[in-house]
Amino acid sequence: MLGTLVEMLSYSFMQRALLAGLFVAILAPLVGSFLVYRRMAFIGDTLAHVAFAGVAIGVYVRDGLGWGGVSPFLSALVVSALAALVIQFLADRTDAYNDVSMAIVLSGGFALGTVVISLTGGIAVSINQYIFGSISTVSWHHVRIMAALTALVGGVVAVSYKHLLYITFDESAARVARLDVDLQNSLLVVLTALVIVAAMQIMGVILVAAMLVVPVAAAGQIAPSFKASVLLSIVVAELSVFSGVTLSYTNDVAASGAIVLIAIGLYAAATVADRYVV
């Protein structure tokens, strides 16, 4: 096992993939913890599908229209952030995070992506890496971006932690205390969009939402407090990424799928431990 690990880490592309994945394992649970405890887990899946539309638009403009300077990641970020604000707008108007509203945004985003893809047959090939993830395409530039985003998101959460915590567990009281609840809600959904777009190269837009939810759900089974749950969810995500990337290397399976399946396995183990051991 040790020899296999040393061999894996001797390849530069595996070093890049593992580092990027480990940064995702910090980012996703850090933001996902607030989503899960606010019963907003569905928003991650919604924004992931909207990011697919953003990628499709970026790839079409770059490859289909020949505008080589356009980045699919930038277009995905812009489209996802706008969708996040639309969801927040709908939530403010209905005074709740309505599943129907998010389902409409989700289906609309995915439908837009499929329409854009159909405009040219060549896009379907190049867009697969964004849908399913591709560890071989992670560059050192992308790793540095992930490191910077981890520091940025971590800093924002640290500064806003008390307000986010207050709103997460008692939004009505937060409004009475005259906290800017709408601003904090908008901040949370935009951070979610940022994490999804940052993680989609290694996880793919289809599976990235799972990393926002599954590690947090696993930690929530056994953690004694919210803060402990956040920290433990990051540990679960790190173990899932490390094991999934290693399994991908040794057995030639999709890294993103392996990571999510391992995270689900850890959730099942935590559930059993909570019921029969703890």
Of these ranges, 69-83, 194-208, 253-267, the one predicted with the greatest mean pLDDT is 253-267
So what CATH class is 2-273? mainly alpha
Q: Please state, in angstroms and rounded to a whole number, the distance separating the CA atoms of residues 261 and 211.
A: 11
Task: Give the total residue count for the chain.
Answer: 278
Q: Which of 152, 241, 151, 243 is nearest to 203 (CA)?
A: 241
Amino acid at site 158: A
Could you tell me the maximum CA-CA distance found in the chain, to the nearest angstrom?
59
pLDDT of residue 97: 53
Cβ atoms < 10 Å from Cβ of 224? 9
Specify the pTM. Answer: 0.86
Per the prediction, the chain carries an average pLDDT of: 83
Cα dist. 209→3, 41, 81, 218, 258 in Å?
33, 8, 15, 15, 14
Cβ atoms < 10 Å from Cβ of 248? 21
Cβ atoms < 10 Å from Cβ of 177? 11
The answer to whether the beta carbons of residues 201 and 209 sit under 8 Å apart is no
Q: Which two tokens stand for residue 216?
A: 């947090």
Amino acid at site 143: V
Radius of gyration of the chain (CA): 19
Does residue 214 carry a pLDDT above 90?
A: yes
Q: Give 217 or 44, the one with higher predicted confidence.
A: 217
Amino acid at site 35: L
The answer to whether the beta carbons of residues 191 and 31 sit under 8 Å apart is yes
Tens-place pLDDT, residues 222-269:
998 999 999 999 999 999 999 999 998 888 888 888 999 999 999 999
266 Cα distance to chain centroid? 18
